[in-house]
Amino acid sequence: MSKNPYVKTELKYFLHTFKRWPLFITKAKGIYVWDKTGKKYIDFFSGLAVCGVGHVHPRVKAAIQKQADRLLHVSNYFYTQPLMDAAKELTGRYQGTKVFFSNSGAEANEAAVKFARLWAAKTNKKGREIITFSGSFHGRTLAMVAASDPKNRSNGVFAPYPTGFRHCRFNDLIDLRKAVNSKTIAIMLEPIQGEGGINIASRPFMKEIVAQCRKNNLLLIMDEVQSGIARTGTFFAFEQYGIKPDIVTLAKGLAGGLPLGATLATAKVAKHVVPGLHGSTFGGNPVSCAAALEVLKMLTAKNGVLIRQTGRILNEELSSFASYPSVKEIRCFGLMAAIELHGPGDAYVEAARRKGLIINCTRGNVLRFLPPYFISKRELVKCIQILKLVFEELN
């Protein structure tokens, strides 16, 4: 039995889906969180890429409070100001698109797949297959588990899964060429795979994807649930590849800590969407939209430059870890970074936590860093110093 009293309570009341850390968080502000004992930590993974602008950002908090004074929810039968403003501001980040709001990344991706299939039906496509990739993670609904890397299938206990997804090796141009066939309607990917361990789509791979889409009249669906909202220094990571996807999905960082998902589609897809085909009760909630509007206003091009600069510093600082024997590879794209280890990473995460730094481990051996956007150079260097102590201790 665990020594941690919260685990005992959890086992009594919860369906045990999460392996939580033995931390009871009572307060958060900016780059910091505090636990019940008053100990302060730097949150170097930003609440899993949700609190990119920092915890309880004063502008986000003020917008939420102001909106909470007016109304919390009225349903999608009505117009509300935050809903209209957030849609205008968000679609402004990708000219020519229209938006559907939901509550999460998985829902944003479900909508993307539905809209892609709708487009396929309306354009008399023969098949309904969507190509996805090894190492991908698109969410936890049945269809998104089917779309994601089959490693996410929990040994098939949740089968049967929806069909219509064909898996291909990430960053493998030859495998991609082989996978495209007469039934293919779309290619869906994360430009930088998050849960898969910060795997960066190579430029030739992305170029080949675009070429295949053009040649075979396929839709390009970009899952930017983790890489979007300026995490890589541009509002969408795809901008840095110079490409234009047909559908883009967002969630995590969109509303600065509140749940909000978004599916953006270009005119070619959007023109087929009519009332009754899709919907959501909570999607576009006025409070979430008010928060998102502030986040969007905060993420200017100037701040993008700043984020890219911070990303370069992070990349440089992390490169010095290559000399530790436990390190297999270091990967960095903007403020998405990882140190892949030869062995398990849990001890590193724990040691960092003891020293006041919150990081996470994905795929068992990949230490992942998703720092807050506006972390100062001094604070960033402090995080790296803590991480160095951890590596000294464990190597």
CB of 333 to ligand PLP, least distance (A): 13
Least Å from the CB of residue 10 to ligand PLP: 20
- Per-residue b/e over 357-367, b at no fewer than 16 CB within 10 Å? bbbbbbbebbb
Nearest approach, Cβ of residue 140 and ligand PLP (Å):
6
Compare residues 262 and 390 and give the one whose CB is closer to ligand PLP: 262
Tell the burial category of 136 from Cβ atoms under 10 Å away from its Cβ (0-12, 13-18, 19+).
buried
Q: Which is nearer to ligand PLP, 230 or 351 (CB)?
A: 230
Q: Is 252 a catalytic residue?
A: yes
Residues in contact with ligand PLP by the rule CB under 6 A: 104-106, 109, 137-139, 190, 194-195, 223, 225-226, 251-252
Catalytic residue among 100, 101, 125, 223: 223
| Cα–Cα distances in angstroms (integers) from residue 158 to residues 117, 152, 201, in the given order | 24, 11, 30
Nearer to ligand PLP, 353 or 368 (CB): 368
Q: Measured from the CB atom, is 195 or 317 closer to ligand PLP? A: 195
Instruction: Write down the catalytic residue from 149, 238, 252, 369.
Output: 252
- Return the residue nearest ligand PLP (CB atom): 105
| 149 vs 195 by CB, closer to ligand PLP | 195
Cβ nearer to ligand PLP, comparing 81 with 280 = 280
Q: Rounded to the nearest whole angstrom, what is the least distance from the CB of residue 37 to ligand PLP in the complex? A: 29
Cβ distance to ligand PLP smaller for residue 370 or 375: 370
Q: Are the C-beta atoms of 139 and 165 separated by less than 8 Å?
A: no
Residue type, 383: C
Task: Determine if residue 201 is left, alpha or beta; phi over 0 gives left, psi from -120 to 50 gives alpha, anything else beta.
Answer: beta
Shortest distance in whole angstroms from residue 48 CB to ligand PLP:
7
The yes-or-no answer on residue 122 being catalytic is no
Report, as residue numbers or ranges, the catalytic residues.
Answer: 137, 223, 252
